[in-house]
Amino acid sequence: MDTWLHPQLGTTSRAPRPYLAALQHVAVTLNADPAWQRWWRASGTPACELGIVTEERLDHLRPSADIRRSADGVRANFTSAPPRNADDVLAAAATELTGMFEVIREAIALGPLPPVPPVPPLPPEAHDVEVTARPLPTAPREPDQPGYLTLTQIQEFFG
């Protein structure tokens, strides 16, 4: 299989495992899809390292994003919030990931996203995903300090 997508999951809180598992599962599905593989090959870079830091509650309208391109590929880090209604975590994860890829697409000038392939049901072992859990550092709060992860914090989250 052509492995172009390398997701990394992180959380600053106790994000629900089913949602993190769904994000991983949808990413694996996109990675294996021939249309998505062709779409990514058009980027001219071998890989996309996709870091997703899930915060329990985002108090800003859009997730933060940090996208960097190098000879080795693209490193894109995003913040995400678990869905309020967890009835269909796979659909929520697919919507979240395609939104992130839309931002990546615009940042590196790729063509339109391919359609999302059918996502198979989550297997029972899917909930055992590797997650980097790290609380936000406690710092004195400045009046103008944002109440969410900054781009610097996102860049440093996975080390």
Per run of 10 residues, the mean pLDDT along the chain (length 159 residues) is 86 78 94 96 94 71 75 89 81 93 93 96 79 66 52 62
Q: Which domain holds residue 32?
A: 5-157
**The predicted structure's pLDDT at residue 1:** 52
Total number of domains constituting the chain? 1
**The predicted structure's pLDDT at residue 62:** 52
Angstrom distances, CA of residue 146 to CA of 13, 41, 48: 17, 37, 28
Buried (b) or exposed (e) across 51-81, using 16+ Cβ within 10 A? bbbbbeebeeeebbbbbebeeebbbbbbbbb
